[in-house]
Amino acid sequence: MAEAPPTGTDVPPVGGTDGDTYEAEFGCGHHFRLFDRPGTFHVSRAGIALGDYLVRSLRGRDITGRILEIGTGSGAIALLLRHLGATSVTATDISASAVATARQNELANFGVPTIDFWHSDLFPPAVDGEPALFDLIVFNPPGWRTPSDNLIAELDEKHHSLGLEAMFYGDSVLLRFLQQLPNHLTANGRAIIGLNSLIGIADIFTRSRSTHPPQDGSVIRSRLLERIEIPLLFYTDEWLQVKNSLLAQFEKGRQEYAASYVTKGDTIHWFYEITEVTVQGQPTAPVLPGRENTRQPAGRAVRDLPGGNACLLPYAGGPAQLAPVARHSGEPEPLVS
């Protein structure tokens, strides 16, 4: 008899449930009770791993730089950054219900809101025509690619308890993110993103260089910080119901864009790659009158982000600066993935 094909674990993600709330627990005892709302991504093993990396890197540091979390979902990572002492946290999500949940989660866990939440596509809106700048951008993007036509047809027949954008379209989202990133990082700024190996990571960076290069000629560089093996989850009942088509898409991805996973027993395991992304070679950006404080780098942000257990350098708030700010310097170098 033929063996059953590999599947994935069917159970929902991390944390116990308690009514409509659940506990998300990060390293060193950082934990939050979060609302489990339809339309909001339930914190998963990957989000916990990314949070753990941030705990190891930032705990005990003076975090005075401006931080953005894109795709905040429940807000868990943004809440964690606040809990770690970050003084300026902005967070966005394309899902209006996720943003509403994240706001509620901040209020429930801290009492007083300080995080600047935006319902927005990737980055927060420009102010006076100028893009907001950040010293550190954190993004746990959707981990699966745009659904195939077959998969879309199947998904169209289902009720959606979670928008497809929570886990699908990761390829186009990442390409747009990498293209726009240079407009949003301060000098020495960097992004920490968590990449799902099912998306075909090397292929995304190659396509970013060839089909979606930053418009100002700057160059994106990437560096692997940590790699974690995670059993596959289907996240929602509807997606579990189309698991055969999903698995077919992952298998096709293995051939077409080097999507990577291993099969253990009857479960697929994928790899979560926590990756640092920096930008080189962007020209000096002018500062508009009245925007000086937002245009300046808020301090020496995060240099030489280490992997493993090493730590980020602390943020150190810089003096007010009225002159144009060099946002990225140095010669363009080939993208490394």
Residue ranges binding ligand SAM (CB under 6 A): 41, 43, 47, 70-74, 76-77, 92-95, 98, 121-122, 140-142, 165-166, 173
Least distance in angstroms from the C-beta of 31 to ligand SAM: 14
142/182 with CB nearer ligand SAM: 142
Q: Shortest approach of ligand SAM to residue 243 CB, angstroms?
A: 18
Element (H, E) at 264: strand 261-264
For ligand SAM, which residue has the nearest CB? 71
CB of 288 to ligand SAM, least distance (A): 25
Name the strand (E) or helix (H) holding 104: helix 96-110
What does R_g of the chain's alpha carbons equal in angstroms?
20
Nearer to ligand SAM, 77 or 81 (CB): 77
Cα–Cα distance measured from residue 278 to residue 174, given in angstroms and rounded to the nearest whole number: 14
In the complex with ligand SAM, the residue whose CB is nearer, 35 or 318, is 35
Amino acid at 281: G
Q: Are strands 267-280 and 219-231 parallel, antiparallel or unpaired?
A: antiparallel
What is the smallest separation between the CB atom of 325 and ligand SAM, expressed in angstroms? 26
Work out how close the CB of 250 gets to ligand SAM at its nearest, in angstroms, rounded to a whole number.
16
- Number of neighbouring beta carbons within 10 Å of residue 282: 22
What is the token pair recorded at 218?
Answer: 């700057």
**Identity of the residue, 243 or 300, whose beta carbon is nearer to ligand SAM in the bound complex:** 243
Q: Which is nearer to ligand SAM, 126 or 316 (CB)?
A: 126
| Run of H or E including 149 | helix 149-156
User: Minimal distance in Å, beta carbon 287 to ligand SAM?
Assistant: 27
Of 139 and 205, nearer to ligand SAM (C-beta) is: 139
The phi and psi torsions of 233 (rounded to 5 degrees) equal -120, 155
Q: 117-146 b/e with 16+ CB inside 10 Å = b?
A: bbeeebbbeeeeebbbbbbbbbbbbbbbbe
Q: 268 φ, ψ to 5°?
A: -85, 135
